[in-house]
Amino acid sequence: MLAPIGIFDSGVGGTSIWKEVVKMLPHENTIYLADSANAPYGEKSKEEILQLSIKNTEFLLKQGCKLIIVACNTATTNAIDYLRAHYSVPFIGIEPAIKPAALHTKTKKVGVLATKGTLSSSLFHNTSKLFAEGITVLEQEGKGLVELIEAGKTDSREMRTLLTKFLNPMLDQEIDCLVLGCTHYPYLIPVLKEIIPANITIIDSGEAVARQTKAVLGNLGLLSENQQPSVHQFYTNKEVSVLKSLVGGPNVEVSYLDF
């Protein structure tokens, strides 16, 4: 089936998920929406996040997408229940990987770096309650991180200052796992590795999302049998340069669109 997979995020962060999806599903076409004009979602109300998620979903459905990946923890934790209830297309979401961290930790202390919108959601609270019994989950809002990544300042002094401030309290408490609960944050891994000791495991959910996407498409008989090179269309409603710097390869097109 040639219909594309639709992917949206508040901005460029969901491209970390797109990369995993393309690796696992090389025959699929994709359309990616970077709603950077409205980033960060993490500081918005649940209602605003919901309205933006509906707007993105309707755009992707108009493009004929067969499945939508909500490549944003904030949108997933605040809007995916609504989206699943109101649209017939399958949705794959992403949530902070509390369960793998809870299974992995030896110190029984896990840090979660995520947006305010994710940390305050009931979905996040329910997941923590369910999977992290007996584990101390140290939550930290990554206020300001998404803005710096959106501005192309991932490898900057401001970024190091913010991350050090956010991570020091967790390091003092001897976490041994750090969950990246925002799809922008995998781009911080090189800087994080300078700041945190090597014995701390960094966990993100990108590969799990790709695996789940493949499983759902397979179960529904929607996997592409395309033998042509796949095509990847990216749209951003802000300037294209940061997005362009993160994605590349054959048949990748990045365009500005006021969606």
Catalytic-role residue among 182, 188, 208, 243: 182
Shortest distance (Å) from residue 185 CB to ligand DGL: 8
Residue 44, judged by CB atoms within 10 A of its CB (0-12, 13-18, 19+), counts as buried
Shortest distance (Å) from residue 5 CB to ligand DGL: 17
Catalytic-role residue among 72, 94, 188, 254: 72
First-residue to last-residue Cα distance in the chain:
26
Residue nearest to ligand DGL (CB): 42
Q: For residues 4 and 13, which CB has a smaller minimum distance to ligand DGL in the complex?
A: 13
Q: For residues 22 and 224, which CB has a smaller minimum distance to ligand DGL in the complex?
A: 22
The Cα 111–Cα 164 span in angstroms is 14
Q: Tell me if residue 65 is catalytic.
A: no
Q: For residues 10 and 224, which CB has a smaller minimum distance to ligand DGL in the complex?
A: 10
Q: Tell me if residue 177 is catalytic.
A: no
**Nearest residue to 7 (alpha-carbon basis) of 93, 99, 69:** 69
Q: Concatenated DSSP letters for 150-203?
A: HTT-TTSHHHHHHHHHHHHHHHHTT-SEEEEESTTGGGGHHHHHHHS-TTSEEE
The residue behind tokens 């509906």 is 54
Provide the binding-site residues for ligand DGL, judged by CB under 6 A. 9-11, 13-14, 39-42, 72-74, 115, 118, 146, 182-184
Q: For residues 59 and 187, which CB has a smaller minimum distance to ligand DGL in the complex?
A: 187
Shortest distance (Å) from residue 199 CB to ligand DGL: 26
Shortest distance (Å) from residue 149 CB to ligand DGL: 9
Calculate the alpha carbon distances from 165 to 40, 96, 178, 184, 195 in Å: 20, 21, 15, 18, 10
Q: Please give the positions annotated as active site.
A: 72, 182
